[in-house]
């Protein structure tokens, strides 16, 4: 086992002082050390997108990312997208459109959609489908997910 190293993780605007083994993934550290369990572990090998977080605003698969590479980066998880008790507009749209089924994939989808809307506020359905290409929904509820995200077009 490798020697542990100190790591200051900037998560949802707060610094977390941690000591981690260098081979541990960001997903492991988020779920097991910080207890930010909104980030899901699906396949654990880069195929499902359930573990998606934002690193400096860009969607990243946390199961394939070493935690120690996150020094100086800003990480956003689903716990960080709400404003107080108010859901993020993407979350509200998904609820409004009945797009949430078992919910397992939703953290990753919310974060991927948030990043998409920040760089393209009015995406077409095809652009939404492309952006969500790495996010697998095991209930296969894609149509309503796309509909919900497209409905936010033009909003901040």
Residues that bind ligand FES (CB under 6 A): 41-44, 46-51, 61, 63
Residue with Cβ nearer ligand FES (111 or 150)? 111
Residue with Cβ nearer ligand FES (8 or 32)? 32
Segments in the chain forming alpha helices (H): 26-28, 89-96, 106-119, 125-131, 142-150
Give 30-35's long-range contacts (Cβ < 8 A, gap of 24+).
30/62, 30/75, 30/77, 34/9
Residues across the chain: 156
Q: How far is the CB of 104 from ligand FES (least distance, A)?
A: 10
- The structure tokens listed for 140 are 């296969």
Residue with Cβ nearer ligand FES (46 or 121)? 46
Query: Among 125, 129, 135, which Cα is nearest to 104's?
Result: 135
Q: How far is the CB of 40 from ligand FES (least distance, A)?
A: 7
Closest-approach residue to ligand FES (CB): 63
Residue with Cβ nearer ligand FES (87 or 142)? 142
């Amino acid at each position: 086992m490798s020697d542990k190293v100190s790591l200051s993780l900037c998560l949802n605007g707060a610094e977390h002082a941690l000591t981690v083994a260098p081979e541990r993934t960001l997903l492991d550290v988020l779920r097991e050390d910080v207890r930010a369990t909104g980030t899901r572990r699906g396949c654990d090998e880069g195929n499902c997108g359930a573990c998606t977080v934002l690193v400096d605003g860009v969607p990243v698969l946390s199961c394939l990312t070493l935690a120690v590479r996150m020094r100086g980066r800003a990480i956003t998880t689903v716990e960080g997208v709400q404003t107080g008790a108010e859901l993020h507009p993407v979350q509200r749209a998904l609820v409004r459109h009945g797009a949430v089924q078992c919910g397992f994939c939703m953290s990753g989808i919310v974060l991927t959609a948030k990043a998409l809307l920040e760089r393209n506020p009015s995406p077409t359905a095809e652009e939404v489908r492309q952006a969500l290409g790495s996010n697998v929904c095991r209930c296969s509820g894609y149509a309503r997910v796309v509909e919900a995200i497209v409905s936010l077009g033009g909003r901040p």
